[in-house]
Amino acid sequence: MKKFGKAMGWIFLVIVFIIGLLLIFNEPIKSYLVQRNAEAKMQNLTRDQIKQNELKDGQFDFSKVKSISVNQVVKTSMQNDANPLGKLAVPAVGLKLPIVKGLSDTALSTGGGTMKPDQVMGKGNYALAGHYMTNKGALFSPLERAQLGQYMYITDLNKVYTYRITYKKIVDPKSVWLIDDVKGAKLLTLITCADGGVNRWCLQGNLINEQSATKENLAVFN
């Protein structure tokens, strides 16, 4: 019985140790998997895929968005069924992500999700939402470091749209008017969590340039 009790004690210690390691490395694991998912979607994206994905349905109910978890990221890696519509880059803070259709868990585990079903790049208020993670290199986390006057870029591989950041504030989650179209304005709006999810970061930029996509100007997304 003593040997049995001793063995059980060692097993318990091993289990506690493994759980401790998982807790310690939970965020780095999520960050690594998210970055891998995003890079795969960015590297393999083609104009034909974008056209096909534009015709697919998306989930646009923000109330259904869940906190990102390791299980969801692993599931996304295995299913690989996010629907990319283009690419997003904020070079000053090292943010480079696919733009994906809608606000599903799969979409938001991959990149920036479109917030409205009818939005078009370069027109109206093109709004994207993304998860904030404690690792500043993952998803929309780097936006916390962005500054007014810096540039944001989006592309559908046909054109590259350049925006200058003119607005950055922590806002109430109910400030949904920020993603509405504004008469006469062409905006890019990026939304992510702030204050542990209690509030939201909102960044907006005005369109200052629109160019046909070339190898040179697409380099900003690489």
The catalytically annotated residue of 131, 132, 138, 143 is: 131
From the candidates 33, 139, 152, 193, give the one annotated as an active-site residue.
193
- Residue 127's nearest CA partner among 196, 189, 194 is 189
Pairing of strands 95-100, 112-114: parallel
20 has catalytic annotation:
no
Strand partners for 163: 152, 207
**Active-site residue, 131 included:** yes
CA angle, 85 as apex, 62 and 146 as ends, to 5°? 70
118: left (phi over 0), alpha (psi -120 to 50) or beta: alpha
The catalytic residue positions are: 131, 193
